[in-house]
Amino acid sequence: MSQYDCIIVGAGPAGASAAYHLSRKGHRVLLLEKAALPRYKPCGGGVSPQIADWFDFDFEPVISQKVTRARYTWKLEDAVEADLGVPIWMVRRNEFDHYIVQQAQAKGAVLQDATKATGIVFDRNCWQVTTSRNETVSGTYLIAADGARGPMAKWLGFKARQAKNIGGAIEIEPRGAVENGHVVHFEFGLLKNGYVWNFPKRDGYSIGSGVFHSGRDRKSNDLLQPMVDYAAAFGVDGDAAKKHGHPVCIWQGDQILHAQNALLAGEAACMVDPFTAEGIRPSIFTGIKAAEAIDRASAGEANALENYTSIVNTELGSEMRMASRLAKAFYTAPRLGYRVIMKQPGATKAMMKILTGELKYADMVHKALRKISGGLLAG
C-alpha cells in the first residue's frame, strides 16, 4: 500500500495549491482528481492578481487576458463603464488549474488523475482511501477539496456544514475573435438574485448567468434565457452553444472545517463570496492555509488543524459575513442597488481593492448599505 503524508482529493485551485505548498516543504503528497487533466471547468475565470503574492512562480503563461475596465448594464440598457484601477486576470480553468498541479508535481507531488476516491476509512492513525483504480492508498492527513458536488465532506461526517445556500450557474464558452478584450461585462437586470456576465479571453468569451443569493429561482430555465439574451448582445447564438451548468456553494456562516487528521478546503468548504460569487481566490487561500496547518501538525503542533478552522473563519469569514449583508441588501432592491452602487464612479475601484486585498468589505459595506437604505426611504 502506498503511504503519503497527505492525500488531497480534488485538483482545483484549493487542492492544487495545497499540494504545491506541502510538496515544496518536503511532504509526500498524493493528489487525486476524478477527471483527466487538463479538464474543462465551468467558471468565468476572473482571478485576483493578489494570488501572485502567495506563490513563488509566474502565472503569466496561463493568463489568457487582462481586463482593465468594467461595463455594467441594467436590462441591456443604462450602461456605465469604469476603470478597474488594477488589471484583473482572465483564465481558462483547464489551463490554470493544471498549471498549478504541474508546479506541485515539479516539487514532488504525485498526481493520479482520472481517478475517483470511492471510499475512506481512518485506521491506525492514517486515512485509507480506496480509488477507482481498485487500490487503497494511505495518508496521515487528508484534504477534501472535491468541490460543491464532491462526496468527501459527507464521508468525513460534516453533516451540519453550511451548504444550504447552494447557488447555480450556466455558461457557454464561444471561441473566436474578441472585440474590446480589456473590458469585462456585467448585466444586473435580466436575472433575479444574481447577474449575467461576459468575461473575455484571448480567443473567445465566457458568457454565463448565475444565481448567488438565497433566492429560489435556480431552475436551469431561469438561468438559461438571461444568458441567451445577453449572448445575443455580443453576436453570439446562446441557444446553439454547448451549455455547462454547475452548483455554487455560497458561504453562509462560519463552520467547523477540521476533523480527525482531515480538513475541508475550497468549495467543499463553501468558500464562495456571497456578493460577487468570487471563488478562485478564497479557494486558493484555504488550500494554502490547509497546507500550513498540516505542515504544523506534522511538526507536532497539537491544535494545528483546529486553528485552521479558526484562521479561515476569522480571515475569510469576517469578509464573507459583510459580503452577505451587502448581497442581501443589493438583491432585495437590485434596481436601486444598481443605481446607487454600481453606477457610482468609486464603487468599481473599491470592489477591485477588495478583490486584491487592499480593502476589506467593512471599509465600504456600511456606506453602501446607507445608500441603499436611503434610496428605499426616499422611494
In which band, very low, low, confident or very high, does the pLDDT at 216 lie, cut at 50, 70 and 90? very low
Report pLDDT for 219.
47
**Is the confidence at residue 218, as pLDDT, over 50?**
no
Mean pLDDT of 246-275: 93
Q: What is the dihedral of CA 326, 331, 333, 338, to 10 degrees?
A: 80
The model's pLDDT over 287-337, given as tens digits with 9 standing for 90+, comes to: 999 999 999 999 999 999 999 999 999 999 999 999 999 999 999 899 999
DSSP string, 263-301: EE-GGGGT-B-TTT---HHHHHHHHHHHHHHHHHHHTT-
Q: What is the CATH number of domain 64-92+165-249?
A: 3.30.9.10
Rounded Cα gap, residues 236 and 228, in angstroms: 8
Question: What mean pLDDT, rounded, does the chain reach?
Answer: 92
Rounded Cα gap, residues 172 and 176, in angstroms: 13
Highest mean pLDDT among 138-147, 150-159, 249-258: 138-147
User: Residue 19, Cβ neighbours under 10 Å: how many?
Assistant: 32
CATH 3.50.50.60 corresponds to the domain 2-47+93-161+252-319? yes
The model's pLDDT over 78-111, given as tens digits with 9 standing for 90+, comes to: 999 999 999 999 999 999 999 999 999 999 999 9
Range 117-121 contact pairs with CB under 8 angstroms and sequence separation of 24 or more: 117/9, 117/32, 117/34, 117/146, 117/151, 117/152, 119/155, 120/152, 120/155, 120/156
Look-up of cell digits 464558452: 173
| Common-topology check for domains 2-47+93-161+252-319 and 64-92+165-249 | no
Report pLDDT for 247.
86
Look at residue 234 and give its three-state secondary structure: coil
C-alpha cell at 22: 506541502
Report pLDDT for 150.
92
User: Residue 150, Cβ neighbours under 10 Å: how many?
Assistant: 21
Report pLDDT for 13.
98
User: Residue 222, Cβ neighbours under 10 Å: how many?
Assistant: 19
The model's pLDDT over 37-64, given as tens digits with 9 standing for 90+, comes to: 999 988 899 999 999 999 999 999 999 9
Name which of 5-9, 182-186, 211-215, 357-361 the model is least confident about. Answer: 211-215
Beta carbons of 29 and 166 less than 8 angstroms apart = no
pTM, to two decimals: 0.94
Residues, the chain, total? 379
**Is the confidence at residue 179, as pLDDT, over 90?**
no
Domain residue spans in the chain?
A: 2-47+93-161+252-319, 64-92+165-249, 321-378
Of 178, 261, 273, 172, the C-alpha closest to 223 is: 172
Q: List b or e across 300-322, with b for residues whose CB sees 16 or more CB atoms inside 10 angstroms.
A: eeeebbebbbebbbeebbebbbb
Beta carbons of 17 and 291 less than 8 angstroms apart = yes
The two beta strands, 29-32 and 110-112, are: parallel
In which band, very low, low, confident or very high, does the pLDDT at 375 lie, cut at 50, 70 and 90? low
C-alpha cell at 321: 459575513
Q: What share of the chain in percent tops pLDDT 70?
A: 94
Report pLDDT for 373.
79
